[in-house]
Structures are given as structure tokens and as C-alpha cells.
Amino acid sequence: MTTYVEVVAETQFAEFEQKLRDKPIAIIYPRHRGRNALVAMFLQHYRNDVIYYNLTAADSSLKAWLGNMIDDAIFPTGFGDQTRAALKAKASPEDLAAALGADLAALRSDRFMLLLDSFDELKTDKATNRFFRALPGALPGHVQVVINGRLLDLQPWNDMLHEGNVAVVGNEEALGGGIYGEDPALGQLEVLALSGGHVYIDGRPVTSWDGSLPRHLFYFFVDHPMVTRDQIFEVFWPHMTVKEATNVFHVTKRKISERLGYELTNYAAGFYVPSPRLSVHYDVRVFETAVQAAIESEGTAPANWYQAVQVYRSDFLPEIHTPWVQARRDELKNKYAQALIGLGRYHRSRDELDAALGYLLRALREKPDWEDVHQDVMLIYYQQGRRADAIDQYRQLTDTLQDMFGIQPSKDTRELYDVISTV
């Protein structure tokens, strides 16, 4: 039976354990929304076989972290002699990895895990990367290191995954399977326009755009994978001459490349298209693909509707109020409401009325003027014997239609109300 922790973690323990098997290092996917639940799963199932260390701001460098950790109360007195000696001798990152591996081997002979939480407190640099690249070969077979952090770079973990030294857990629901495991030559761009408008390049957030225009043009390019220069100018600089718009465009485009460290687009056959050097993980694309699949295939509709609802975590780019963004926001909101309605009607067809009601009411919060959904809600309330709630739902619809359009409900809805309200 699935446990509550597994539900929150969106990962079955059996799958979780299978991924860990025979891997010296495991990382919890940093964008997985159930990261803390995955940590809880570790602690729940392995209990005394987990040594837990939570990094703090004092652990920002490789040497500071190692020194603080081996002296921490999680380890017995006298632990870490080889690591301590290596630190004193200013050993190389590779020798530090060998020393820690030897100390962990001497600590216990049975299998255990070292869980490093808040790992992003450790600043990434060449020494840190060299240490972790060497660590798998230095660890004894009965020891695994598990890493959890809000932010993790693409490297060295992607190379180590391809080498078979790292497992990634919690990436099953990530956009496109996440940033780890793809061609090491590709940059990894994550764009979360339906989760508040966050951008990550190679695992790190892009927080500065040198003004709003580069950020807005960036999102336009990502949302329009094939677009002409004229279309861009019409949206961003409709009142400029072509020469003026061209100058501003190229300056803005260069700023985007500087922020990403990659060219975002290529120009081919009159169109700006995605650069082949980047793998783009875009939540809007995942959302719309799921909605379209649900519409086209009734047999898999529930799974696709669920995926769409899961991906849609907030309105499209809520902090941007330009006309193209507002139009796109309204379009995507309609599709989100459609997904909620699809799930509501699916559950209603299975006589799961409470679940159906939950999804349909969520749909009405997004689109309060959709009369057929109000009819569904009225009928469910009526089926549940909640006549007063059904009547209130009709009055809510009446007020909404009057306020928004100055009209009354349709004849069908009025007749349904007459049936429900008759004593």
C-alpha cells in the first residue's frame, strides 16, 4: 500500500531503492517539489543506517565543510583522522576524497549512507568538482553519499551519471526527465513560466537580465520556437523604424546570450529557431502537449489531464503585463480550466462525486462564466442531496452572468433550476 510519504514524494520506495542500488553517490533532483519528502523517506526506511549532516553557511568551501563535518557530533570522537591529516597537509582534492573514503570505511563495516542536506551551501568551484569526481572511486562498497540541495549545477553530476557513478532520484516528474543524463555537450535550459517565471541554466538560476526587455524577449523566443523578425518587431517595437528596431533587437538579443552563456536562437530560412546547443525544458510545452494528447486520445485522457493540472502551478508569467503575455495567459488559463473539467467529468463518470466536485469548482475559479460547468456542479449537489447548495450555485451563476455580460442563464439551466428547487 502506498504510504503518505510516497504520495508527497511522488515516488514509490521500491523505485527509489532500485535507483540507489550499486551507486556510490545519489542526488535528489533539485527541482523536485517533494524533495523534503524524499529526505523523510530516507530517514524513515533506513533509520540507523543514515548519518545526516546539514550544511550551513560555515560550510561554504570544500576544506571548511570537511573540517566541520568530521568534527561534528554525528560522528564518534576520533573519527576523521586521515581527513584531518590531509587537510593539515593541504592535500589535493583527490587526496582529500581518498582520506574521507578511508575514514568512512573505518567507521562501520555494515552498509550505511551519508546524507548531505542543504548541499547548495557548499560553493561550486574547481576544487569541489575535482573532489566529487574522485569520491566514487574512494568510497568503500558499503557506503553511499546522498546529496540534497535546492540548487545543483549540471556538472560534475551529469558526467558522473554517464560514467555510472551517480543516481538521480526524484526526476521522474521533472520537465523532459530533468537536466541530468543528456548529451554532455548540450546546455540545459529550464523555463518555468507556469511556476512563477523562473529560469535555470545548467542548474543555476538566472536572476539578473539587465532590464526587463531582455527578460521579456527571452520568454517570447522560448514560447515561439519559430518566429520571423517582422513578428518580433510587431510585438516589441511596432512604432520604431526598421533600422531603430534592428539596433535595439540585436543589443537585447546579445544581453540574453550574455546572461545564459549560450546563444538562445539560430537564424535559418528567415526564422529564429531554438539553438541546437541547448536542450530546452519548458513547462508550457509539457502542459500543452498533455492537454492536446488528452483531447486526441480518450483512453489516456485522465493521465494526461492529471499531468496538465500538475504542471500548471500558477498563471503564465504573472509579473509581466504586456499584451502578448496577457493573451497567452488567458489562452493557457482556458486550457487549464479545460483540464480541470476533464478530470471532474472523469471522476463523475466513475461516481466519485467529491473528487469530481473538487475539480469542477477549481475550474469555475478560473472561468466563472462557464455555464455548463455550473450545471455539472448543480447536478452533483443534487445527487448528493445538497439541494440548498445547488440553488446557491445557480444564484452564483446568475450573478456572474449578469455582472459580466448583462444576461441571464440559458433555458436549459433555468429548467434544471426549476427541477432542483421544486419541493
Give tens-digit pLDDT for 227-254.
Answer: 999 999 999 999 999 999 999 999 999 9
pLDDT at 47: 77
Using alpha carbons, list the distances in angstroms from residue 161 to 23, 103, 164. Answer: 10, 25, 5
Q: CATH fold of 4-181, please?
A: Rossmann fold (3.40.50)
pLDDT above 50: residue 8: no
CATH 2.60.40 fits 198-281, yes or no: no
Residues in the chain: 423
Q: Which residues does 25 contact at the CB level (< 8 Å), separation at least 6?
A: 132, 135, 136, 139, 144, 145, 146, 147, 160, 165, 166, 167
Output phi, psi for 365, to 5 deg: -65, -30
pLDDT at 337: 96
Give the DSSP H/E element, type plus range, for residue 207: none
Say which residue, 40 or 291, is predicted with more confidence.
291
pLDDT at 34: 72
Confidence of residue 35 (pLDDT cuts 50, 70, 90): confident
Q: What's the average model confidence in pLDDT over 121-125?
A: 93
Radius of gyration of the chain (CA): 27
| 155: nearest Cα among 125, 116, 175, 117 | 125
Task: Tell me the three state secondary structure of residue 323.
Answer: helix
Domain ranges of the chain: 4-181, 198-281, 294-421
pLDDT above 70: residue 268: yes
Output phi, psi for 144, to 5 deg: -120, 145
Least confident span in 12-16, 32-36, 91-95, 337-341: 12-16
Confidence of residue 16 (pLDDT cuts 50, 70, 90): low
Cis peptide before 156 (omega within 30 of 0): yes
Confidence of residue 389 (pLDDT cuts 50, 70, 90): very high
State in words which class domain 294-421 has. Answer: mainly alpha
> How far is the first Cα of the chain from the last one, in angstroms, to the nearest whole number?
45
C-alpha cell at position 47: 533509520
pLDDT above 70: residue 2: no
